[in-house]
Structure 1
Amino acid sequence: MWFSSVINMYKIIVFTIIIHVARSLRVTDISVPRYAELGSTIIMKCNFTLGSGKLNSVKWYKDELEFFRYLPDVNLPNTNIQIFPQNGIALDMSKSDKNHVALTDLTYNSSGLYKCEVSSDAPDFKTDTRNGSLTVNAYLRYEPVISGVADRYSPGETITANCTAGPSNPAPRISWFINDEEVGLKNLRQYHTIENGDNLYSRSLGLQFQVGEGHFLPSTDYINIQCKATVADMSLETFMRPHRLQYTSAIESSLQRFRNNSTSITTTLFRGWVMILLTLITMVSPL
């Protein structure tokens, strides 16, 4: 009997706690974007349940400084929302209410920790909070550029390429891929980050490897090299620039180099003969 009584008492306690929680003020959800685009507009959300209480206020803070307050019982029209100026905070009042706060024209100073605080009125006088972090970035506007590569290569030759991406903030992270496989550090060449002004940065990453027969894709005779640029772990802001390199035999490669050298030699000889002829003409011309 005593065991049954203990079980029943336990059920009553649990039921009472559940009822109390259900009837209490509680912030159920907060929505703050982890990342946002420089100059864009975002809407942050704060959902809550009052239980049996009555709403007293909804307050928003950035880095523990209040910038927005909603008061439901203000009698004068258009005065139930109060704002407190803060660096990096520009409010769109037409989209802000007790559950939403709209920030527009985001700057780097808009980054920070945002907190929603909901308070109930008498007789409860409860308060609950939840927070979320925002970072403002300047994302890539252009695809990365691959430079320094020829159109054809033969096994044994060395491919040396550069990938440049930016400007952005933070500086882009660059990765190289050969036939969809990421390239290891031993084949990469690191360069210094370039500052472009206005807190924007560009970055380059070199690629160098010796071509092998296995690099050429079956039935296509192509090598697919790709440059991937990423800003702040945002997949939507990732660009991948492919570049296809065609197979050529060693003989074809040598012939092409011979043609290039022959063309260069012929051009140099032609220029030399022109200079000689001009000199002779000058010498035999009557004074």
Structure 2
Amino acid sequence: MAANLVASLFVFPLLQCIAAGLRITEVEVPRYLMVGQKATLRCQLALEGEVLYSLKWWKDGKQFYQYIPLNKPPAVVFTVPGITINPARSGLHEVELLDVQSSSTGNYRCEVVAEGPTFNTHVMSANMTIVDTTDTKPRVTGLEASYRDGETISLNCTSLRSRPPSTLTWSNNGQKIAKEHLVSYPSATSEDDPTTTTLGLVLTAHASLFTDGTLDLRCSATVHAYEWSTDVSLHLDNVTYSQPHHLPTLQQTDAATTYMSPCVLTLFLSLLTLCLCRRT
């Protein structure tokens, strides 16, 4: 019991000392950005009676910015791949990055150090991911002009060259289509190269799927917080086909009934000539 009491008496002032020292209260780093955008990094401090000696920013363990209030000039920029600093918008509390690229993705750490004799040091970090896609909307292929009842509907949705790879979904009226109707295709995923992904859809055309003869589908490509979608409308062929019309059967004539033999013809002409002679 006495030992626990002594430990408590020792730890409590130590915690008070740590809490009262220089510390970072918040680090603000954009979670997701598109290639080419700007990023503002913020490091909020609480001096707690101490004097700041330096503030430093690191990306994946490499220092790219330093601010020492007593130095002239106080700010120093270091070369790190994926980092382009805007000096006009950078200071003690924030740093602005210009034209972020895929190489800007990483872990960003703010480090503050107090003046002596304490030289208290505190760090806090956050991650930033840069989304790189050259095709803002997914492409839908395989669409027919119309479908008949019972026919197979086979469509493909493709998201081109995205880093990180996009996640594709098919939906109808806001409801995701069940997995048994989807066809997944393998895609070569590379950490350095953008990836193309494709998701197929196979349905059987039935009147129950179509509203007023139309089926509206949406393919969505999602990369973290960003989403792009393409809408397509399918049409059901509702033409009613009548029974086939049969042409009337042509009456066949017997060649024997229409053929007059030479003998009969000669006899007929002889009688006709005799009748004419008697009249004259």
TM range (shorter): 0.7 to 0.9
What is the 5 A alignment of 1:105-144?
Answer: 105-139=99-133, 141-144=135-138
Superposed CA deviations along residues 81-121 of structure 1, whole A, max 9, x for unmatched, are 12222222221111111111122232322222111011111
Superposed CA deviations along residues 180-201 of structure 1, whole A, max 9, x for unmatched, are 3212332222334379xx9333
Q: Distance in 2 between matches of 1:150 and 1:37?
A: 35
Structure 2 match to 1:223:
215
Q: Distance in 2 between matches of 1:147 and 1:65?
A: 45
Q: Is it true that 1:91 corresponds to 2:80 in the alignment?
A: no
Q: Is the Cα contact below 8 Å between 2:20 and 2:48 reproduced in 1?
A: yes
Superposed CA deviations along residues 118-157 of structure 1, whole A, max 9, x for unmatched, are 1111343211110011222213543222221224334322
Q: Is it true that 1:68 corresponds to 2:62 in the alignment?
A: no
TM-score by length of 1: 0.71
How much has 1:21 moved relative to structure 2?
Answer: 6.1
Q: Is the Cα contact below 8 Å between 1:154 and 1:253 reproduced in 2?
A: no
Q: Is the Cα contact below 8 Å between 1:178 and 1:225 reproduced in 2?
A: yes
Q: Distance in 2 between matches of 1:182 and 1:244?
A: 16
Q: Distance in 1 between matches of 2:37 and 2:68?
A: 28
How much has 1:222 moved relative to structure 2?
Answer: 1.9
Q: Is it true that 1:240 corresponds to 2:229 in the alignment?
A: yes
CA 1:43–1:246: 2 relative to 1, 3 Å: same
Q: Distance in 2 between matches of 1:155 and 1:224?
A: 16
From the two aligned structures, give the one with the greater helix fraction. 1
How much has 1:20 moved relative to structure 2?
Answer: 5.0
Q: Distance in 1 between matches of 2:202 and 2:241?
A: 21
**Which of the numbers 35, 39, 55 marks the counterpart of 1:38?**
35
2:54 aligned partner, one-letter code: S
Q: Distance in 2 between matches of 1:253 and 1:58?
A: 78
- How many residue pairs align between the two structures? 234
How much has 1:71 moved relative to structure 2?
Answer: 0.5
2:36 aligned partner, one-letter code: G
Indicate the SS of the match to 1:152. coil
Q: Distance in 2 between matches of 1:240 and 1:150?
A: 20
Q: Is the Cα contact below 8 Å between 1:53 and 1:123 reproduced in 2?
A: no
% identical aligned pairs = 28
What is the 5 A alignment of 1:152-171?
Answer: 152-171=146-165
Q: Is the Cα contact below 8 Å between 2:135 and 2:159 reproduced in 1?
A: no
Structure 1 match to 2:260:
none
Q: Distance in 2 between matches of 1:189 and 1:49?
A: 54
How much has 1:161 moved relative to structure 2?
Answer: 1.1
Superposed CA deviations along residues 44-63 of structure 1, whole A, max 9, x for unmatched, are 10001101111111011112
Find the structure with the greater CA-based Rg. 2
CA 1:35–1:107: 2 relative to 1, 3 Å: same
Q: Is the Cα contact below 8 Å between 1:44 and 1:101 reproduced in 2?
A: yes
TM-score by length of 2: 0.73
Q: Distance in 1 between matches of 2:134 and 2:81?
A: 25
Aligned CA RMSD, in angstroms, stands at: 2.9
1:56 aligned partner, one-letter code: Y
Q: Distance in 2 between matches of 1:239 and 1:137?
A: 13
Structure 1 residue runs without a partner (length 5+): 1-9, 256-287
How much has 1:253 moved relative to structure 2?
Answer: 7.5
Q: Is it true that 1:82 corresponds to 2:76 in the alignment?
A: yes
